[in-house]
Amino acid sequence: MPDLVEFIRQLDKAVLAADPSCDWAKRDRVKLSFIGHSMGGFVVTNTVRILSDVFDTQSIGSLGVANKAKAPSPNIGNIFSIGRLVLVSPDIPAETIISGRANFLSSSLRRFQETYLFSNEGDMALKLAATAANYASFPSKTREGGHRLGNVVIRMPERSSASSNKGVPYGIVNFNADAADGGQLMDVNIRATGDGVEPELLARKAGREKRKASSFLDYLHILSRTSLTSRQQEIIDPDEKPIAELFTVFDCTDYDEPIPDAPALRSGLLSRSLKKRSLSLWDYVVLTSDMLTGKIDTHGGYFDTGNTTTRPQKPEAKLAKRLIYGLACLGFSPLIASLTSSGATAEDPKLRLKALSLHCADCHILVLLAAERYYRDILGIEDEGDRAGY
């Protein structure tokens, strides 16, 4: 990690020295985007936090969340800009996603323009080795303290008419594709009427209304019966926004792909794709055996290339790799444009979002869309990129 920080710092110096006459203030910066898998997520987030301190000492700011110095720009040094972060099964304490605690994750996320999390409840490498070895790395009095961010899962809120994942369509769980005007994001803001977000967004865009409290965390769980909302409410500052809102989350617990030479049959890439609300203790035992015998890579299956000697009919993780690399290299808008059918146009951003939802639903991936992505990339409300308050 120190070597990576120094490499970027020296590269910044070398580019400036190579062409001293170049005015980088008038040129587009070189965008740095990162994919962090397992402990790589820990390395990436800490690297960006250190870079913030190296290049911009004011980014440390004060403890006040309203201090603009705590919401620095994504610019790093003279030529670089921090772009997108994709965390895949990160070996990071799950409690770091809860605001109100000083940690490396929250200080890093303020720099990134887009952030994504790929997780799997059945990741036994994280549940066993990482949790046992790293429980003390992020002290907590609660049981959640030993859980890892790569095991965070998506659940339908209890207040929903569909209180379990069984029978609930996969895809983007907080996007109603059947709503008027081509679809609406659901459950982003707490409103007594329960109406869609569009009227509120129009009012805010006209400067008549400020953002209200989010219920985004109702969908995210560390433990099967408790959402992050209850834990977050215990410690968050009234003026602070939950950093979990910055993530678009892909719960790949049930992710499957067609088996080669037998497209009518499908096989789980990260688990046995049981389509259950929560895995049982026996399911964990079976997955541990699958992991140890090489049948299922519960930790790195997102990158599977297909057939192996131990599992000749193992499918390739086509969609997972397309999502991970596409989000990191292209960004959200270009990626969903590449997934859209030929009938979609640049004037159909919600149709593109539906295409993403359908692709994920076909492979039994649950997606929780960040409100920031919906506001900026679908509705075109640019002021939703502000990191102040996180």
Q: What is the pLDDT of residues 140-191, one digit of tens each?
A: 555 555 678 888 899 887 655 444 444 557 999 988 877 767 778 876 543 3
pLDDT of residue 192: 32
CA distance 221 to 94: 10
Which residues 6+ apart lie within 8 Å of 55 measured at CB? 9, 76, 77
- Please state at what angle helix 39-55 crosses helix 2-18, rounded to 10 degrees: 50
Tell me, yes or no, whether 124 lies in a domain: yes
pLDDT of residue 63: 46
- Is pLDDT of 87 > 90? yes
| 383 neighbors 169 (Cβ within 8 angstroms) | no
Tell me, yes or no, whether 37 lies in a domain: yes
Tell me, yes or no, whether 390 lies in a domain: no
Structure token pair of residue 157 = 């809120």
pLDDT of residue 165: 46
- Is pLDDT of 106 > 80? no
Which one, of 352, 118, 112, lies nearest residue 249 by Cα? 118
- Is pLDDT of 365 > 80? yes
Q: Which domain holds residue 87?
A: 2-385
pLDDT of residue 253: 94
Tell me, yes or no, whether 63 lies in a domain: yes
Q: What is the pLDDT of residues 244-257, one digit of tens each?
A: 888 999 999 999 99
- Is pLDDT of 292 > 80? yes
Q: What is the pLDDT of residues 54-66, one digit of tens each?
A: 565 555 444 454 5
- Is pLDDT of 38 > 80? yes
Predicted confidence band of residue 303 (pLDDT cuts 50, 70, 90): very high
Distances (CA, A) of 244 to 74, 94, 260, 302, 370: 19, 11, 37, 22, 9
pLDDT of residue 311: 62
The conformation of residue 71, written as its DSSP 8-state character, comes to S
Tell me, yes or no, whether 227 lies in a domain: yes
**How many folded domains does the chain comprise?**
1
% of the chain beyond a pLDDT of 90: 25
Using only C-alpha atoms, what is the Rg of the chain? Answer: 21
Tell me, yes or no, whether 183 lies in a domain: yes
pLDDT of residue 356: 93
pLDDT of residue 78: 80
pLDDT of residue 341: 58
CA atoms within 13 A on the CB side of 22: 13
| 370 neighbors 245 (Cβ within 8 angstroms) | yes
% of the chain beyond a pLDDT of 70: 69
Tell me, yes or no, whether 237 lies in a domain: yes
Strand residue runs (E) in the chain: 30-37, 75-76, 80-88, 114-119, 153-154, 171-172, 175-176, 184-185, 220-223, 226-227, 247-251, 256-259, 262-268, 366-368
The conformation of residue 49, written as its DSSP 8-state character, comes to H
Beta-ladder partners of 259 = 262
| 172 neighbors 367 (Cβ within 8 angstroms) | yes
Predicted confidence band of residue 333 (pLDDT cuts 50, 70, 90): very high
Structure token pair of residue 299 = 């930790």
The b-or-e profile of 50-64 (16+ CB within 10 A means b, else e) is: bbbebbbeebebeee
Predicted confidence band of residue 329 (pLDDT cuts 50, 70, 90): very high
Q: How far is CA 303 from the centre of its chain?
A: 17
Least confident of 39-48, 84-93, 204-213: 204-213
Using the structure block, give the residue that is written with the tokens 């002290």. 139
| 388 neighbors 68 (Cβ within 8 angstroms) | yes
Q: What is the pLDDT of residues 9-29, one digit of tens each?
A: 888 888 888 887 877 777 788
- Please state at what angle helix 349-362 crosses helix 318-329, rounded to 10 degrees: 140
| 86 neighbors 34 (Cβ within 8 angstroms) | yes
Main-chain dihedrals φ then ψ at residue 367, nearest 5 degrees: -125, 135
DSSP string, 254-296: T-EEEETTEEEEEEESSS-----SS--HHHHHHHHHHHHHTS-
Average pLDDT, the chain: 76
Distances (CA, A) of 62 to 66, 67, 108: 9, 7, 16
Q: Give 93 or 124, the one with higher predicted confidence.
A: 124
**Pairing verdict, β 247-251 and 80-88:** unpaired
Tell me, yes or no, whether 223 lies in a domain: yes
- Is pLDDT of 73 > 90? no
Helix, strand, coil % in the chain, rounded to nearest 5:
40, 15, 40
- Is pLDDT of 326 > 90? yes
